[in-house]
Structure 1
Amino acid sequence: MQYPQIEIVPDVFSIFPDLQVFALLVNGYDDAICHIDIEAVHPVPADMSLAMGVGPLSELPIISSWREVYRTMGLKPSVYHASVESLLRRAKKGWGLWQTGLKHVDFYNGFSIRCYAPIGGYDMDKVRSGSIRVRMLDPKKDIFSPLGGQPEAFPLKPDIAVYAVENDIACWAFNHRDSRDYCLTETTRQAIFFSEANTIMQAAASLAAIGAMRSNLSSLRAVCSPCIRYSRQHPCGECVTS
């Protein structure tokens, strides 16, 4: 399988020097999801024990450290926060509320809850350039078509880190909101998943989430790449699993 060109550009590390991004490329995602028993891979309420044992989720170090990232981007964390916090908030309100009913989305969101790590998934057949860059937003050139929201709700400011396909934003503010132009669908054949980390604790969670997804998808005969880590030392990636 041909791996896409993915890179974290240097200006991101000037603001987030400890950033690590973990990636997994999957061929045959649509077929695997058709055959998966989604309930068997979903998290169980016990996976929420850490979140249920605190009052505000901001008391959890793995969440509070993400909130610092959003403050650094000039965003109010009570309004804009990591995707994993959004999922955990819904699950705390009612266990089934985190589920969308879409297997191709609930599959990776389940691992996000289980491992307390943000995960985003994108359709590589829609990335015609074959290249994705993690960089700071360019307000003069970038455009964003948010999934399930209005563009004006997502300010285009230079302090915000994005996943970009040329000048299209595939995901805004690390993992806060995906673009409807690159999101996964039930017919996505080739998917790529990302999980970001800015602390040692977050990195362990991201690696666990990507590894568990890889194991489950491989068992359904999807063709999975090794887990690739992108960091300041390896901005164009290094294999961390065989």
Structure 2
Amino acid sequence: MTGSLETFLSTAEVHDAVFSLRPDYRAMLVVADGFDAGPSDAASEDALQAGEAAARAALRDRPVTEVPHVAAWREAYRAFGAKPQRTRNSLEAMMRRAEAGLPRINRLTDLYNAVSVLHQVPVGGEDLDRYRGAPRLVRATGEEPFDTVADGAAVVEHPEVGEVVWCDEAGVTCRRWNWRQATRTQLSEATTSALFILDALGPMSDEALDAATDDLTDRLTRLGPDVSVSSRLLAQ
């Protein structure tokens, strides 16, 4: 990564148009550098198994749509025109998958997916070496490029007008707030610098968001002796 982690974080922003939709929204940005990513391992397996157990416990007596933070995100999706039954927020998607088993992808992705389910908060991760400029959460014009895969082939799509998207100078990095990430900035076993975004709405307290951040930070610092981690809260 070029420049300091703190400098990168200082450039991040959430546009007022997003806060107008959800004044209770908070984004916790965590950046990490100097780690050894690599394939899934025993530590990430333990984390995922703990997440799966937590999800089963949370859903023992209620459907996933009645988990307070999931319900809040379904409401937020409706506010900008998305249909939550068709495009699920990442927390709901992870909790639904937990019964059959969360995906095993690589150490970084496994860890943030585990933190997401353990703390019931949407979490995303981006490769900073593939990032271009500052992270911004905006309402889309509809012209921004979003690189993804459809039917096994690489394609460029565009968000709907007014859709809430994370983006950088090169285009959309995550559509519908926390629904689907671009292929360009996906984490891999070779990633050495990363940005993680924890998305919180009203049902999640500031204390709970801090606990999730501390958990993610602790897991990241175990990935090597020279890991550096910084964080910044974006709120109205």
8 Å Cα contact 1:67-1:82 kept in structure 2? yes
Contact 2:145 2:156 in 1 (8 A): no
Question: Within 2, Cα distance between the matches of 1:112 and 1:6?
Answer: 22
* Residue 24 of structure 1, CA deviation: 0.7
1:53-96 CA-partner distances (Å, limit 9, x unpaired): 21x2112212111110111121111111210110111113x2x2
Q: Quickly say closer, same or farther: Cα 1:32–1:102, change in 2 above 3 A.
A: closer
Written as runs of structure 1 = structure 2, the 5 A alignment for 1:8-23 is: 8-23=14-29
Percent sequence identity over aligned pairs: 25
Pick closer, same or farther for the CA change 1:64–1:35 going to 2, 3 Å.
closer
1:148 shift after superposition: 6.3
Is the CA contact (8 Å cut-off) linking 1:136 and 1:160 kept in structure 2?
yes
CA distance in 1, matches of 2:121, 2:145: 27
Unaligned runs of 5+ in 2: none
**Would you say the 8 A contact 1:32–1:217 is kept in 2?**
no
Q: Which runs of at least 4 in structure 1 moved beyond 4 Å after TM superposition?
A: 31-36, 147-155, 202-205
SS of the counterpart of 1:145? strand
Q: Contact 1:43/1:114 (CA < 8 Å) preserved in 2?
A: no
Partner of 2:59: 51
Letter in 2 for 1:62: H
Report the secondary structure of 1:12's partner residue. Answer: helix
Please give the TM-score of this superposition, normalised by the length of structure 1. Answer: 0.83
Task: Name the residue aligned to 1:237.
Answer: none
- State the secondary structure of the residue aligned to 1:30: coil
Counterpart in the other structure of 1:79: 86
Matching of residue 219 in structure 1 with residue 218 in structure 2? no
Q: What number of residue pairs does the alignment pair up?
A: 226
| CA pair 196-87 structure 1, distance change in 2 beyond 3 A | same
Farther-moved stretch of structure 1 (166-175 vs 28-37)? 28-37
The residue aligned with 1:239 is none
1:194 Cα deviation (Å)? 0.2
1:32 Cα deviation from its structure 2 partner: 7.6
Shift of 1:125: 0.7
> Counterpart of 1:142 in structure 2: which amino acid?
E
C-alpha displacement at 1:213, in angstroms? Answer: 1.1
Question: How far apart are the structure 1 equivalents of 2:67 and 2:157?
Answer: 26
Which residue of 2 is the match for residue 143 of structure 1? 145
Cα deviation digits, residues 182-233 of structure 1 (max 9, x gap) = 111111111010011121426554432221010122234353333311011x
Could you list the per-position Cα deviations for residues 13-55 of structure 1 after superposition, in whole angstroms to 9, with x for gaps in the alignment? 122222100011100233587877222333424412112321x
| Deviating more after overlay: 37-46 vs 102-111 | 37-46
